Chains A and B, each alone.
Chain A
């Protein structure tokens, strides 16, 4: 049976062209970019070139980019690095309740251990943040605002530019410069406009593993002039903000992958959005007691997140796995914490709806016949699990948004 991989929000395969670009730097061009010889120089030049490529697509300057080991590290450096360097100017942070753990846990750490006040903005029932809520939460003490570009579980696209505008206006009105706006753009990098000026963001983070690039490489864009405190200490690499010998092949791979997804994003968005809507409509019309989680319109082209009432997500995931369909779930049973998805809960839905949620995320390899196969496979599996379930979730929760 062919494998149908529908978990591209978790990670993507490495594009063969990306691998090809990386290979020399894993083999003959192994030099240390800090070395003062030709071999080292060639590695340093390759990094310089990769930095320029990425900067072009971001509308940024090459010296505004810092390479890290992952988006988690980039988010940590952005949040902890900025907050610790500016705590004398204010101790208020604004974020949302549906951020990725890499942002949420880091900010919670500042709140619990380092004396910061945090406002967690709740999204509406469709999983969208209201820019007015950000505006109302802004305070002269606010130093950092972090709102993710696209949610990784329900795929909702947040109004980043609008929020950026509001923050910019607030800074002008109050004559303050220490307030910055960060967005975690991991899910967006493959499909949306990443121009930092258009988005009105000061700090932006993403990684290679979600855009057909390698794992183990992340990127932090921080506008020139923004001071960060490093998390690690050592050599002068990455302006001493991220010491340690550069992951040369990873950096080359990230640049190649980013260049490629940005070039194909318009076409791929149209193709995948059609497949996405076929899958959503197919499930909602053929399987009773299902609901789409997250806004249907302001939604990334590859994301389908559905709650199947009365059954538990892990069980359905494993049945699908046996049918060679790889998806993911917001159920507690597959999380290390045994807590269900904080994102589904933050939509105001009860635990049992979060437990029954399943996420399919499409990607470059996804075809129409994959979607047809899922639509044919899913209904009997749901039916089987419902036949052994004693639960009946209240009707009010399964009308789709």
Chain B
């Protein structure tokens, strides 16, 4: 997996480069989805239309995302995908973009949905500021949560896949893998990992486990 940002013409200056130079301007695609978010759940929507829901984050960590899906029971394709989020510009835009990606061309299957990566969403957005990437692209997590919810509701318990990675912070749904990625990105202190992932910001009780993992990955990769 690579975090190298795609170079879309005209958007280069909008995204933070990998050398930590900071940028606060979003790409035109991000702006389009931010100012005109698509597929968010209308206020008086009929929730009984949906047969799966998913949730990730909490307002304490700065982002909360809930998703509602309508899945075709025969094809297991996503017919409709609605969302609500408490989040910043890139949280809104990435969720809006993800909602388009999972429903376009007749909708992707639940199996495909499971493999949607934050990088895929980011690529379609033409990049995001480096330091916003880990914390604001939550949609893939909420999507997997909803996929499991669909199988749970349809009694297909054998198809439920618990995260291959262990969730360390149940509030932010940050996994051991997220922490591994952060350490590989050069975050080798708790503060630095928190900056990238927001782990434990709304839930201090997981911090000892986080620190232990940082030590483990630091030794594993950097000796």
Q: Which A residues form the contact surface with B (CB < 8 A)?
A: 310-312, 314-315, 318-319, 322, 331-334, 336-340, 350-352, 355, 387-391, 393
15 contacts between A and B (CB under 8 A): A310-B86, A312-B87, A315-B92, A332-B62, A340-B62, A350-B60, A351-B62, A351-B201, A352-B86, A355-B62, A387-B42, A388-B83, A388-B92, A390-B84, A393-B59
From residue B205, how far is it (CB to closest CB) to chain A in Å?
Answer: 15
Q: Which residues of A contact B62 (CB under 8 A)?
A: 312, 331-333, 338, 340, 351, 355
Contact A318 B89 (CB under 8 A): yes
Contact B66 A390 (CB under 8 A): yes
> In whole angstroms, what is the CA distance A337 to B87 when docked?
16
The reply to whether the CB of B24 lies closer than 8 angstroms to some CB of chain A is: yes
A-B contact sample (20 more), CB < 8 A, given A334-B24, A340-B62, A388-B37 = A312-B62, A312-B91, A315-B87, A315-B91, A315-B92, A318-B34, A331-B62, A331-B88, A338-B135, A338-B195, A350-B60, A351-B62, A352-B59, A355-B59, A355-B86, A390-B64, A390-B65, A390-B84, A390-B86, A391-B64
The reply to whether the CB of B118 lies closer than 8 angstroms to some CB of chain A is: no
Q: Which B residues form the contact surface with A (CB < 8 A)?
A: 22, 24, 34-35, 37, 40-43, 59-66, 83-89, 91-92, 131-132, 135-136, 191, 194-195, 198, 201-202
Q: Which residues of B contact A336 (CB under 8 A)?
A: 22, 131
> In whole angstroms, what is the CA distance A387 to B132 when docked?
23
Contact B61 A351 (CB under 8 A): yes
Contact A338 B131 (CB under 8 A): yes
Q: Which residues of A contact B89 (CB under 8 A)?
A: 314-315, 318, 333
User: How many pairs of residues, A versus B, come closer than 8 Å at their CB atoms?
Assistant: 79
Given contacts A333-B62, A340-B62, A352-B59, contact A315 B88 (CB under 8 A): yes
> In whole angstroms, what is the CA distance A352 to B65 when docked?
14
Contact B43 A312 (CB under 8 A): no
> In whole angstroms, what is the CA distance A355 to B85 when docked?
13
From residue A230, how far is it (CB to closest CB) to chain B in Å?
Answer: 30
Q: Which residues of A contact B198 (CB under 8 A)?
A: 338
